[in-house]
Amino acid sequence: MIEYGARAQSLPAPPGVVWDSLTNPDASGTRPWLKLLADEIAPEVLESNRPDRVVWSSLWPSRPNDQVVLELSAAGPETALRFTLLTPDEPPDESKTGHIRKRMNHLLFADLRFSYGN
């Protein structure tokens, strides 16, 4: 697998709560946060290890073999979340790579963050 993007940032919730959000984004009683664009599909959970790892399938039908690895660790009362974009294929061109990175940043570090009320 070839890595073509990664970023880490903290979220204002403990790892178990973040793990639940990542493995079941549409759970009843939670604020919706996985707001997809027209060129995106909901990811499937390919692998999970509570509370520190989740692997998603690609959100982009044009990149069906890509994976998003989500690694969580406790950072005091918060969670340090790192995403890594992997592909077994050729990495996307610079424009597509930038779009995918920007969307992951927005989904995780804006939409998911704000679903916790911060």
| 42-71: average pLDDT | 97
Mean pLDDT of all residues belonging to the chain: 95
| Residues belonging to the chain | 118
% of the chain residues with pLDDT over 90? 91
Gyration radius from the chain CA atoms:
14
pLDDT confidence tier of residue 26, bands split at 50, 70 and 90: confident
Beta strand extents in 1-118 (DSSP E only): 2-11, 45-49, 53-57, 67-75, 78-87
Domains of the chain: 2-115 (3.30.530.20)
The owner of tokens 């779009």 is 99
Query: What is the bridge-based pairing of β-strands 78-87 and 2-11?
Result: antiparallel
This prediction has a pTM of 0.93
Q: Residues 57-72: what's their mean pLDDT?
A: 98
- pLDDT tens for 79-110 read 999 999 999 999 999 999 999 999 999 999 99
